[in-house]
Every structure is written in structure tokens, then in C-alpha cells.
Amino acid sequence: MILADDEKAMLDGAGGIARQRAMELLVRYAEALGAERFVDTKNIAGVPGSSTVFLQKYFEEHAGDGSFEAVFSLYDLDAGEVMSIPSAAGGNCCHLQGGMDLAHGADLGMSPEAMQHQRDDEAELARHGVRIMKTCTPYLAGNLPLKGEHCAWMESSAVVYCNSVIGARTNTEGRESTSAAMLTGKIPDWGFHRDEYRRATHLIEVETPVEGVMDWGMLGYFIGYAVEENIPVLTGSIRQADPLRHKHFGAAAASSGGVEMYHIVGVTPESATLEIALGGRKPVAAIKYGSAERRRVYETLNANGRDANVVYVMLGCPHASIDQFREVARLLDGRRIKTHLWMFTSRAVKTVADMSGFTQKIENAGGLVMTDTCSAIARAVPKGTKVVALDSAKQTHYLPAMVGVEAWFGTTEDCIHAALTGRWAGELL
Ligand code: F3S
């Protein structure tokens, strides 16, 4: 590898032992990828140094030390010794979603011990310069990189948004690489950091109108299956979509497949024309999405739903935007729900929802607004839940298998109707 002077210095220990170990880890990672150099990054979204009560106890038993330093040294940096961990190298280093909402730990089935541990963990991370955003939508909560900026982000739905909508550059990193990047400000110059890797390979010809959020989620779900880990470019009957639609589209494509970037001409910042999106090459495949494909996706997403008696409605995957709060508050409109309703978002968006009166309206109807996590990540649904209603293709993909429930997929309106009546009545229009 070609190393810059500051990288050599860190490898030689000039920045202290933890930075040295972080650099060693990154060199091993870069060599495994075949990267020839590093890029500088000041935008990191991961879960650095976080631990659970279980992890802390495991480290106490096996390393004799369950401290933040021990977990970070051994678990994040794969080092053989416990080291003092310096603060983040600078820039925007934020914490992604975690496993619980401290304000609703009991609803999520968390013990007081786990909640106290979480508080201690957050204080430790904040002391190390990590921004406690606790969300899978950092771009809605204050971490919005610039076009072309090199980032090191985890979380597939955030990664695809970062590459495709913002035009910043990140691979889907892991805990170790984001933690090492946090200390060094470096990440391998590979994959989506490089122009040649970002070109579209598959042409998606959309032949049916794609308007609402549900439709964008279904289109993403279709494309993920169709292109797997390749890069699609969309043409045809799609209009300019808002960030909310991109959020659901990308999250779905990243869950049914491994899509980390897509192109929409005139939206994706580096895709001024179809030719530019394709890098001047011919697509390796052209795939049609018409009304038959649309119906098939809807049936696939609802294949698991049998019992129309809904017990739980979950909204906010990926974490809800303020527009979604406004919509849900409007749909509830002073009425009482018959099911459980949990809506997940970031702390930042919840603050705006609180100030706008949306949280109050949802709570007055009988719902709960939670932050930091979601049912899939926390593996938590209201007690006795057998049937859920969801407006997220991504959550529909994961939650039934994770917690053993039946799931219905539809619009936010379908979900609120189910919450108000206790019955699923959604259908594809
Ligand atoms: Fe976010 Fe949970 Fe969905 S972390 S993307 S709300 S699965």
C-alpha cells in the first residue's frame, strides 16, 4: 500500500497505541480489499465502543475487565491488550441506532440494569467525541455530508441514501472499520469511494406509475431482488421523489438485495444523463417493472399475512421524518386506536414532533413515540403480538422472521386504519 506520512506516523505509534492498533487494523482491511491507499474521512456513522450488559459481563469473565476501554480495545479494534482510547479524530462522528429507548425501556422489555448500562455507555461515548444521534437516518438528524465527501457509514439504508441521494461516498462499513476510522480519520480507498465503481450496471425500465411511499418501497424491493448487489439506474414513469420516498426505496432495495447505490437521472448528483450514470457503457441487463411486477411484489410482501386481526402497528422504518409525523397525527385526528401503535424516529426528529404537537396527538390516540431503536433492532413487540401491520418493505422483510409474527404491508393510511379498527383492510389500488 502507498501510505501518506501521517498514516506512517500513526502506524509507528506517533498518535499513541490505540491509533496505532486502529491503523494496523485498517491496513489489514485495506489489503484484504485490494485497496492501494486510504482516503481521509471526517464523517463516521457507526456504533463505536458500544456495549450491552451481556457484552460487558462477557468481557469481565473472559478479559477480567468490562470497561469501555476493554470493549473498544478488544471488540472494536481487535487488539490483544486493553488500551486507553482517545477521542474521535474530529469531524462528524455519530452513533447509529441502538437497542433501546431509555424513555420506554420497560415497554421494550429492558431491565433497569440494561437501561443504566445504556446511560453509562452513552456518557462514555459522548466523552469520546461521539455524537449521540442514535438513528438509522443520520441525514435527517444533522449529519448531512457534502457531495463527493468520503464517509465511513454502517447501516444499509443510510449507506444507499448517502451514495445515491446525497452523492457522498461510503461503503457499508462494519463496527471495527468505523471505530478505527473514528480514531484515525482514514478508510480504504476502495469500492464506492472510487468513480469507476459507482457506475450503473442494470437498467430498470419503470412502466407503471410510482407515486406514493408504498409504491417507492415496492419498487425498491423489486429492484433489490432483480439486481442483487449491482447498481441500477431507473428510467421511465418515475417523477421527482421527495426524501421520504428515497428513504423507503433505498431501504427496501438494500434489504431484498444488497443495493448500496442507485442512479436516478437528475436526482443522483453525479447522474446528469443516462449515459453519465452508465459511465458510457451498455447496461449488462435491462429489467422491466410494470403492473404485473408491482402486483407480484405486493403479494410477496403480504404472503405472510393471514389473520386480519391486527395487534400491533409499527411505523418509522427507516426512522420517521417530520412529514410522516404530520401525516400520522392527521390520520389519527383525535380518535382512539384499538391496537398497539409504536412509531420510531431519532431524538432530533422527535424533538420537532414534540414541539409541533404531533407526539401529543399520537399519544392521545393511544400510541407511543420511541427513539433510538425499532422493533427489529430491539427484537421487541408489544406483549401478545401475533399480527403486525407495517408501511415499510424493509421492516416487513425482517420482522416476521425475527420475532415470529405475521405481517401485513401497505400504506401508512392502511396501517392507521388497522390501528383504529383492529382489522387489516389494505389492498393494492
Ligand atoms: Fe432503522 Fe430499524 Fe428500519 S434501525 S432502517 S428502523 S430496521
Q: Does residue 69 lie in a domain region?
A: yes
Q: Does residue 338 lie in a domain region?
A: yes
User: What's the structural domain count of the chain?
Assistant: 3
Final residue of a domain: which of 252, 275, 300? 300
Is 376's C-beta closer than 6 angstroms to any atom of ligand 1? yes
Residue nearest to atom 6 of ligand 1 (CA): 317
Residue type, 41: T
Shared domain for 374 and 410, answered yes or no, is yes
Final residue of a domain: which of 195, 226, 260? 195
Shared domain for 168 and 309, answered yes or no, is no
Q: Rounded to the nearest whole angstrom, what is the distance from the C-alpha of residue 377 to the centroid of ligand 1? A: 7
Q: Rounded to the nearest whole angstrom, what is the distance from the C-alpha of residue 418 to the centroid of ligand 1? A: 21
Is 261's C-beta closer than 6 angstroms to any atom of ligand 1? no
Shared domain for 396 and 369, answered yes or no, is yes
Q: Return the ∠ at Cα 388 (arms to 229 and 419), rounded to 5°.
A: 125
Q: Rounded to the nearest whole angstrom, what is the distance from the C-alpha of residue 34 to the centroid of ligand 1? A: 31
For each successive 10 residues of the chain (429 residues), what is the average pLDDT? 98 98 98 98 96 93 94 96 94 95 96 95 96 97 97 98 98 98 98 98 97 97 98 91 97 98 96 97 98 98 97 98 98 97 98 98 98 97 97 98 98 98 97
Q: Rounded to the nearest whole angstrom, what is the distance from the C-alpha of residue 246 to the centroid of ligand 1? A: 15
Final residue of a domain: which of 260, 279, 300? 300
Which three-class secondary structure string do you get for 327-359? Answer: HHHHHHCCCCCCCEEEEEECHHHHHHHHHCCHH
What residue spans of 80-139 are helical by DSSP H?
Answer: 112-127
Cell numbers 453519465 correspond to: 276
Is 136's C-beta closer than 6 angstroms to any atom of ligand 1? yes
A 10 A CB-CB count for 2 gives: 9
End-to-end CA distance of the chain: 55
Q: Does residue 426 lie in a domain region?
A: no
- What phi and psi, each to the nearest 5 degrees, are found at residue 306? -125, -50
Shared domain for 111 and 28, answered yes or no, is yes
Q: Does residue 68 lie in a domain region?
A: yes
How far is the C-alpha of 176 from the C-alpha of 72, rounded, in Å? Answer: 9
Percentages of the chain per state (helix, strand, coil), in multiples of 5: 45, 15, 40
Q: Does residue 156 lie in a domain region?
A: yes
- pLDDT score at 33: 98
Domain range for residue 315? 305-421
Let me know how many helices (H) and strands (E) the chain has, helices first: 17, 14
Shared domain for 362 and 377, answered yes or no, is yes
- pLDDT score at 240: 83
CA proximity to 367, closest of 343, 333, 344:
343
Shared domain for 40 and 172, answered yes or no, is yes
Is 180's C-beta closer than 6 angstroms to any atom of ligand 1? no
Cell (9 digits) for 120: 453509562
* Residue whose CB lies within 8 A of the most ligand 1 atoms, among 47, 50, 97, for a mutation test: 97
The domain spanning residue 187 has which CATH number?
A: 3.30.499.10
Q: Rounded to the nearest whole angstrom, what is the distance from the C-alpha of residue 81 to the centroid of ligand 1? A: 34
How far is the C-alpha of 314 from the C-alpha of 316, rounded, in Å? Answer: 7
How far is the C-alpha of 415 from the C-alpha of 412, rounded, in Å? Answer: 5
Is 255's C-beta closer than 6 angstroms to any atom of ligand 1? no
97 and 155 Cβ atoms separated by less than 8 Å: yes
Q: Does residue 428 lie in a domain region?
A: no
Q: Rounded to the nearest whole angstrom, what is the distance from the C-alpha of residue 392 to the centroid of ligand 1? A: 9
- pLDDT score at 237: 82
128 SS3 class: coil
